[in-house]
Amino acid sequence: MVRVVNFAVRYSANVGDGLIADCLSHAMTRLAPGLEMVSVDLAGRSRHGEATVRGRGMKLRVLNALPAPVRARAVELVLGRFLDRVGPRWRAALGGADLAVFGGGQIFSDADLNFPLKIARAAGLCASAGVPMAVFAAGVARNWSPRGRALFGTVAQGDLRHVALRDGFSREAWSAQMGGAGPHPEICRDPGLLAASCYGRPAPGAEPGPVGICITDPAVLTYHADMAVAGGARADALLAATALALVARGHRVRLFCNGAVEDREALARLAAHPEVAARVAGGWLDIAPPPATPAELAGIIAPMKAVLAHRLHATIVAHAYAIPAVGLSWDRKLVSFFASVGRGAHAVQGPAGAQDLADLVLRAIAEGIDPAAHAVHLDETWAGVARMLAVTGLAARPPGLRAVSGAGA
């Protein structure tokens, strides 16, 4: 049996990260029946709901207040001890593996050496075990420090057979920072676009649900942002005002989050706001329970008629189900995704007011999603996974992807 180890953030409380891993596993096992997928969570988790960092929101605020060199040194000391603990478990997972995939998410980003340290340790273990590697559907930020660049370079120094990144910006950032090491990076679609195939669709004939508004804690956006945050430090308040504006125009609205602890707290704060609570009592607005698993997130989004979000994978899952989405800027990955599916006009950059956002959401609903273009996006997603399998020698490229994908499922 072919065995593939996927290094990702499978069990993150932000279940959008786990959704990528689920969908990649789904696609690989559909395209190569009998293939065994083993997930290794780069944060050391072994199941959904397991917390490895307590008080993450407070720690992020403390880190934000420290000078960059001090932050990086503190993170390196803490992560060094963590990696020493999980190293034996990662080594065991690689036993007998045919391939290790660093797959999905913005994992080639240097926020105080967090991912560089983890990925370098994993790549070193792959080299020791003689396991070839691939990078697939990953996002790459152009923020690598000299130390981070050296650590990420460990991947290219090993038996790296394939690099496919999820957008052009990531490819440019990889090439500029890797200095030409490793295979030439290709572009592939995010596996999250296969969410409908992975988790299933709403029952046929179901009525369109409410407009979904995904709530993200502004402190998290600010910490990880590489561009202006739409809504700034009061992004959550802007989203609450947008929800009230949509309700005032006669639309039902559902507030939800991707599950991260700090996002849950932001969602709870908004739910307690008097005006929001009044609309909940009147039946025009409701609060979705925070998802504990990727399947639950897909289940929340699938019935909606539109989605407004900062979180990338809330918008990717919406597109997977052919639901019009409006994205709010804070990171180039979100803007790049909207451009890649021909919906760049629906990625809001810079200042925006609640009434403007409500207008844009309603225009997106009226325009809908072009079925032919949507089918192409899904076929391209399957094709990217098939190419990785072919290039790494694990399976031949199938003759007809549409038969596998269920005519665009």
Asked if the structure places residue 115 within a domain, the reply is: yes
Asked if the structure places residue 372 within a domain, the reply is: no
**Domain total of the chain:** 2
Residues 138 and 97 in one domain: yes
What are the tens digits of pLDDT across the range 363-382? Answer: 999 999 999 999 999 999 99
Mean pLDDT along residues 281-310: 96
| Residue 26, domain extent | 3-196+377-405
Asked if the structure places residue 296 within a domain, the reply is: yes
Asked if the structure places residue 240 within a domain, the reply is: yes
Q: Is 118 left (phi over 0), alpha (psi -120 to 50) or beta?
A: alpha
Residues 177 and 224 in one domain: no
Question: Is pLDDT above 70 for 18?
Answer: yes
Lowest mean pLDDT among 38-47, 61-70, 221-230, 391-400: 61-70
Residues 79 and 139 in one domain: yes
Contact by Cβ (8 Å): 199, 166: no
Contact by Cβ (8 Å): 394, 35: yes
> Among 100, 193, 99, 102, which Cα is nearest to 139's?
102
Residues 140 and 210 in one domain: no
Phi, psi of 327 (to 5 degrees): -105, 150
Residues 209 and 332 in one domain: yes
Mean pLDDT along residues 45-55: 74
Asked if the structure places residue 128 within a domain, the reply is: yes
Asked if the structure places residue 157 within a domain, the reply is: yes
What are the tens digits of pLDDT across the range 80-113? Answer: 999 999 999 999 999 999 999 998 889 999 988 9
pLDDT at 226: 81
Residues 144 and 255 in one domain: no
Mean pLDDT along residues 258-268: 95
Residue 24 sits in a domain whose CATH number is: 3.40.50.11930
pLDDT band for position 66 (cuts 50, 70, 90)? low
Question: Is pLDDT above 70 for 56?
Answer: no
Residues 192 and 311 in one domain: no
Residue 359 makes CB contacts below 8 A (sequence gap 6+) with none
Residues 267 and 251 in one domain: yes
Residues 389 and 310 in one domain: no
Residue carrying the six token digits 């409410």: 210
pLDDT at 231: 86
Averaged pLDDT score across all residues of the chain: 91
Asked if the structure places residue 139 within a domain, the reply is: yes
Question: Is pLDDT above 70 for 409?
Answer: no
Residues 224 and 157 in one domain: no
> What's the pTM value of the predicted model, to 2 decimals?
0.91
pLDDT band for position 408 (cuts 50, 70, 90)? very low
Residues 243 and 342 in one domain: yes
Residue 351 sits in a domain whose CATH number is: 3.40.50.2000
Residues 33 and 165 in one domain: yes
Asked if the structure places residue 344 within a domain, the reply is: yes
